[in-house]
Structure 1
Amino acid sequence: MTAAFSNQKKLSLNIDAPLYSMLEKQAEESGVGLNDFIARLLTGAMDEWNDYCDTLRRLSDDGDRSRRVCLK
């Protein structure tokens, strides 16, 4: 089981109490732990951001324009 965690890094977050409570409640309703829930949210957000950046690149006449917003 150690190999499954070899690519993971620890991250410390300071989250205000109302947001923490909301995340905790949604994680519980989803049937997953809070860490897994936050990891899924971050992964989904990054996937959507990458899709957005790819769309900007395809629509852009100037290839440098999208780089001002997207960090790829």
Structure 2
Amino acid sequence: MPSDELIMIPADAAARDTLLHRLDTLGALDHPRVEPLAAVEVRPDGRIGVRRGAGTTADLPTVLAVRGRLSVP
């Protein structure tokens, strides 16, 4: 089910451009282990709206609850 995440836009122009570039790159990925991004929108209130696609991934707390703690190899 798609959902929105809001990210603060960095005030520094270079950091902002880097973040937007990374989001564009992430949005272009098509891989079964990467949750798709449906849209990235720069909002007038100084945040970036990131709409996640309908992926089948789980967040880390959910994975740890099912799997248990991770170990260092």
For Structure 1 versus Structure 2, the TM-score category normalised by the shorter chain is: 0.3 to 0.5
Q: What's the TM-score once normalised by structure 1's chain length?
A: 0.33
Q: Which is richer in strand? A: 2
Report which of the two structures shows the higher radius of gyration computed on alpha carbons.
1
The structure in which a higher percent of residues are helix is 1
